[in-house]
Structure 1
Amino acid sequence: MLDDRDRKLLGLLQEDADQSVTVLAEKISLSLSACSRRIQRLEEAGYIARRIAVLDRDRIGVPTTVFALIKTTQHSDEWIDGFRRIIRDIPEIVEVHRLTGNYDYILKIVLPRVEHYDVIYKQIVRKTELFDVSASISMEVLKSGGAFPVDYAV
């Protein structure tokens, strides 16, 4: 069971996981060793899945985002496993969700420029059968990479 300090610690780590344990301990009014033990416990319990560096997309050359909506007539386990392998092997595809509604999947694709979408599109359609693909170009990011709300954690 998490307490308020655990939740505050999780929120602080989401803002900046590079903060020293000393700074974190000070912010949540704990000793250095107690704070360190809490972080270790949260990691072991799976609340902290991993720590990553968030890169500047412009600096690394992938400023463009395309969302591809996919419809398929295939829903067998074999097709889904194959589709997972295809998308796993394309690094420009950074996020994929299975959906309810009119489309089956949405892919978030990061690219050096919008014209590069055709390269990714062809990599997918050469390897699997799709019924329909519709793509939209992100014009502006209004919110991204937000921290998860920690108030619901138990």
Structure 2
Amino acid sequence: MKIDRVQRQLLSELQLNARVSNQELADRVGLSVSPCWRRVRDLESSGLIKRYVAVLDRRKLGLGTCVLVNLQLKTHDARVTDQVERHIHSRREIVECYALSGDSDYMLKVFLPDVESYAMFMHNFLLKLPEVATVRSVVALREVKHDTALPI
């Protein structure tokens, strides 16, 4: 979808602070209040803005350990991938999942309190999935960059 300069500015500002007032947003992008409000509503209606969320501090919530997990499946038919994806969706610890090309079939990002919690998660969930052939885990030592804003 092609977006114009003002839409790009609106989206950039809202990615930084979605709670900004319509008046302040209008001032920042050089519009009056009513056209600004309409343009934001159009961005919402078009689906470019999917939803508004709060970005939480996972460490303050006791989720200080981030583990990246690669899964390799035993087979690759649609029934198997659908089943694995249903299992993945059922677990709140898994905050992101990507289907991959290459040696692994899926990469998961998992947030847990500590490494012991991950060991239990792996033993009680990942290793019990009958469709999974191998599980490879990497524990993140520190977060170098985490940004929710898209490069528009």
Q: With the length of structure 2 as denominator, give the TM-score of the two structures.
A: 0.94
Q: Distance in 2 between matches of 1:129 and 1:82?
A: 8
Deviates more, 1:40-49 or 1:68-77: 68-77
Runs of 4+ in 1 over 4 A off after TM superposition: none
Give the CA deviation at 1:98: 0.8
- 2:140 — aligned with what? 138
Matched to 1:77, the amino acid is: A
Bigger CA drift: 124-133 or 3-12?
124-133
**Which residue of 2 is the match for residue 114 of structure 1?**
115
Q: Partner amino acid for 1:75?
A: H
Question: Distance between the aligned counterparts of 1:99 and 1:132, measured in 2?
Answer: 14
* Worse-matched range after superposition: 33-42 or 124-133: 124-133
RMSD (Å) for aligned C-alpha atoms:
1.1
**Identical aligned pairs, as a percentage?**
35
Hey, what does 2:60 align to over in structure 1? 59
SS at match of 1:140: coil
User: Gapped runs of 5+ residues in structure 1?
Assistant: none
Q: Deviations over 1:18-38 (max 9, x none)?
A: 111111000001111111101
* Residues 67-99 of structure 1 deviation map (CA, whole Å, 9 limit, x = unaligned): 011111221111111111111111000000011
* Residue 10 of structure 2 is aligned to residue 9 of structure 1: yes
For 1:51 and 1:28, locate their aligned partners in 2 and report how far apart those are by CA, in whole Å. Answer: 19
Q: Which residue pairs with 1:85 in the alignment?
A: 86
Aligned AA (1:132): T
**Contact 2:84–2:131 (8 Å) recurs in 1:** no
Quote the Cα distance in structure 2 between the aligned partners of 1:61 and 1:17: 25
Matches within 5 A, 1:96-115: 96-115=97-116
Distance (whole Å) between structure 1 residues aligned to residue 34 and residue 62 of structure 2: 41
Whole-angstrom distance in 2 between the partners of 1:138 and 1:67: 7
Q: What is the SS of the residue equivalent to 2:136?
A: strand
Amino acid at match of 2:47: G
Please say if residues 63 and 112 of structure 2, whose CA atoms lie closer than 8 Å, have aligned partners that are also in contact: yes
Q: Which amino acid aligns with 2:19?
A: D
Mapping 1:16-55, distance limit 5 Å = 16-55=17-56
Contact 1:83 1:128 (8 Å CA) reproduced: no
- Residues 86 and 124 of structure 1 are in contact (CA less than 8 Å); yes or no, is this contact kept in structure 2? no
2:75 and 2:103 map into 1 onto residues whose CA distance is 14
